[in-house]
A and B are shown apart, each in its own frame.
Chain A
Amino acid sequence: MAEVTLTDITKRFGDLTAVKDLTMCIEDGKFTVLVGPSGCGKTTTLRMIAGLEEVTQGEIRIGDRVVNRVPPKDRDIAMVFQNYALYPHMDVYNNLAFGLKLRKAPKSEIKDRVQEAADLLGIKDKLKSKPRELSGGQRQRVAVGRAIVRKPKVFLFDEPLSNLDAKLRVQMRTELEQLHHKLKTTTIYVTHDQVEAMTLGDRIAVMKDGVVNQYEAPQETYDHPVNQFVAGFIGSPAMNFLPARVVRTSGATKVTADGFDLTIPAARAGEFPEQVIVGIRPEDLDGPVSDEQNVLIVHVTVTEQLGHALLVHGDCGGQQIVASLDPHRSVTIDSVVHLSVNLETLHLFDFESEETLM
């Protein structure tokens, strides 16, 4: 078990800079998620930590050791791949044992470790099967098992659940959580799915274009995103962004646009530029309409009943928005509704820089 420290890591592929001056400390024993859209550099970063890609600039440490020049097999890490990467000609037992065999571990120790991992993952009865005889979920378990038997300092996961169907994904997610709780190994997990990031991570690093935008605990990232990108990436359905003007009247600061006229609570007000982007999460539009002032006036275009929520899509002063409402509320298409805005969780972003103002 060890902490992983990245200092000013840069990776260039010819003219393309995949990762730019990345500095972060992945704490010992924690489950850290690198999340972001395709091409953000998260997998490249993971592969550099694994030793599968060379670092163009910067330093990677595992524990106290600088590992830039250390080959993958000597870094004491184990990796689980998106496509499982199981050895097709070997049965499950040998897939699990391969790494240990190469290190010339004694036969009895190999047997013990393999049995232990197989037990933990519920694949004990599949030890003699070949990968092609297994289902997707079982193959993934074998891939995880292969990492576990090595008892490494760091687990690296590269989008391991992407190839599984939705239901299996949910199941495996909880299993991975339980596993982490049991083994407590430092884990670095890459995904493009923000749900996985939120549920699994102790801390999540939201990346875009090779840069980490925010690196905090999930709840903190959800409640206080540092910029528009993070705000829009975390949370589903995504946050609504509405351009607005800031208007200062005597004693009150308001944000106004065609579909709304919201008064910012005094405690939250500050120095704001004239042009801003208002950010409202769909789930923050569900409150009772207490005062007719702080509402969004929405012309409903589509409704989606999820069972646990009613998603209402509509037009608010020319902007498309989504609201997540109580499923029993009755909303009809083409009607105009007034949706109450939660002023305490309202977000404001700078129009130019997209940084969070409030």
Chain B
Amino acid sequence: MMESRRFISRTPLHFTILVFAAIWLIPTLGLLITSFRDPANIAGTGWWTVFPKLFSGGQYSLENYIGVLRGEGLARSLLNSLTISVPATAISTFIASFAAFGFAWMHFGGRKILFMLVVGLMVIPLQMTFIPILPIYSKLKLAGTFPGIWLAHTAYGLPLTTYLVHNFMAGIPKDLFDSASIDGASPFMTFWRIVIPISVPALASVFIFQFLWIWNDLLVALVYLSAKPNVAPLTVSIANLVTNRGQDWELLTAAAFVSMVLPLVVFFSLQRFFVRGILAGSVKG
């Protein structure tokens, strides 16, 4: 009885939320529907006209997707995006976890200053690093290579990543380390067998953060991959597509969804870690 009354009193709230959700989703829905229609239909009628006959198959096709993946080479770009994002995220999370542990639980001279320095690097705008770094990259022949961009993304991501993981690790009860010390664990063993397993929520959320950021990045890719088509990620390819085939909405919408699928999957499947990870520093249980 109480619950239904509460539900009813919250109706204005629910309604407002639904309205906002609709406002956000409707354009996306439009794009999704458009991506399945052929060019003639798109040019002739609005996407909302499908609604009366929503489920009749004939008006939909996968032509656009095939065209964009095969014809415009987005399949290759998808692979490139993966090749860039996964290793870069993995390396950066890996290094950050070691660094965070060192800053949180090991005692060495200059620890505080070094930590502030690393986190302080967040202040530097990306754009300012391009001009100094590119000549170095050219000399080292890293420009236009995957290792080059992995290095770049790792460096850009480390300050925030280290900070977030450190936040979590610093909250681990000291007792646990005392106990491990008495049990006979070396610092590395403590790190590997105790801290890392406990830190999984924080590491997972940091991984997601980084992954999504790198996947959606256009600028760093453009700069460090010198727009070479065979290593271009989705972001670059789609940007080019907009330039070259700007009027071909059927291709653009299909391309947009190709680039969205993976992050959506990653986000929804690991979402519980993400939320837990954000709170991980605040509530220790």
Which residues of A are in contact with B by a Cβ distance under 8 Å? Answer: 50-52, 71-73, 77-79, 81-85, 87-90, 98-99, 102-103, 146, 150
Known A72-B182, A89-B194; further 10 A-B contacts with Cβ < 8 A: A50-B182, A51-B182, A52-B181, A52-B182, A73-B185, A82-B175, A84-B175, A85-B173, A87-B180, A146-B183
* Docked-complex contact B197 and A85, CB < 8 angstroms: no
Q: How many angstroms from the CA of A71 to the CA of B181 in the assembled complex?
A: 8
Pick the residue among B173, B176, B183, B194 that contacts A73 (CB under 8 A). B183
Pick the residue among A78, A87, A89, A90 that contacts B182 (CB under 8 A). A78
Q: How many angstroms from the CA of A89 to the CA of B173 in the assembled complex?
A: 14
* Docked-complex contact B182 and A73, CB < 8 angstroms: yes
B178: which A residues are within 8 A, CB to CB?
50, 52, 79, 81, 85
* Docked-complex contact A88 and B175, CB < 8 angstroms: no
Number of A-B contacts (CB under 8 A): 56
| B179 proximal to A (CB < 8 A) | yes
- Min CB gap B172→A, angstroms: 10
A98: which B residues are within 8 A, CB to CB?
180, 183, 185, 193
A103: which B residues are within 8 A, CB to CB?
184
* Docked-complex contact B182 and A77, CB < 8 angstroms: yes
Given contacts A83-B175, A85-B176, contact A99 B198 (CB under 8 A): no
Q: Provide the B166-193 mask, 1 if CB < 8 A to any CB of A, else 0.
A: 0000000101101111111100010001
* Docked-complex contact A73 and B197, CB < 8 angstroms: no
Q: Which of A71, A73, A77 has the most CB of B within 10 A?
A: A73
Q: Which of A83, A98, A103, A150 has the most CB of B within 10 A?
A: A98
Pick the residue among A84, A89, A146 that contacts B197 (CB under 8 A). A89
* Docked-complex contact B198 and A73, CB < 8 angstroms: no
* Docked-complex contact A83 and B173, CB < 8 angstroms: yes
* Docked-complex contact B198 and A88, CB < 8 angstroms: yes
Closest to B179 in A: A85
* Docked-complex contact B184 and A102, CB < 8 angstroms: yes
Q: Could you pull out 16 A-B pairs where Cβ atoms are within 8 angstroms? A: A50-B182, A51-B181, A52-B182, A77-B182, A79-B178, A79-B182, A81-B175, A83-B173, A87-B176, A89-B197, A90-B197, A98-B180, A99-B184, A102-B183, A102-B185, A150-B183
- Min CB gap A8→B, angstroms: 25
Closest to B197 in A: A89
Pick the residue among A73, A83, A89 that contacts B181 (CB under 8 A). A73
* Docked-complex contact B189 and A81, CB < 8 angstroms: no
Leading 3 A-B pairs by shortest Cβ distance: A85-B175, A99-B183, A73-B184
Q: How many angstroms from the CA of A86 to the CA of B161 in the assembled complex?
A: 28
* Docked-complex contact B181 and A72, CB < 8 angstroms: yes
Q: How many angstroms from the CA of A82 to the CA of B183 in the assembled complex?
A: 17
Q: How many angstroms from the CA of A103 to the CA of B189 in the assembled complex?
A: 12
B175: which A residues are within 8 A, CB to CB?
81-85
- Min CB gap A103→B, angstroms: 6
- Min CB gap B284→A, angstroms: 10
B180: which A residues are within 8 A, CB to CB?
87, 98
B183: which A residues are within 8 A, CB to CB?
73, 98-99, 102, 146, 150
Q: How many angstroms from the CA of A94 to the CA of B198 in the assembled complex?
A: 15
A50: which B residues are within 8 A, CB to CB?
178, 182
A85: which B residues are within 8 A, CB to CB?
173, 175-176, 178-179
B181: which A residues are within 8 A, CB to CB?
51-52, 71-73
Closest to A88 in B: B198
Q: How many angstroms from the CA of A146 to the CA of B184 in the assembled complex?
A: 13
A51: which B residues are within 8 A, CB to CB?
181-182
Q: How many angstroms from the CA of A146 to the CA of B176 in the assembled complex?
A: 13
- Min CB gap A318→B, angstroms: 47
Given contacts A85-B173, A87-B194, A89-B198, contact A79 B189 (CB under 8 A): no
Q: How many angstroms from the CA of A146 to the CA of B183 in the assembled complex?
A: 9
B179: which A residues are within 8 A, CB to CB?
79, 81, 85, 87, 146
A146: which B residues are within 8 A, CB to CB?
179, 183
Q: How many angstroms from the CA of A186 to the CA of B173 in the assembled complex?
A: 28
Q: How many angstroms from the CA of A320 to the CA of B253 in the assembled complex?
A: 86
B176: which A residues are within 8 A, CB to CB?
85, 87
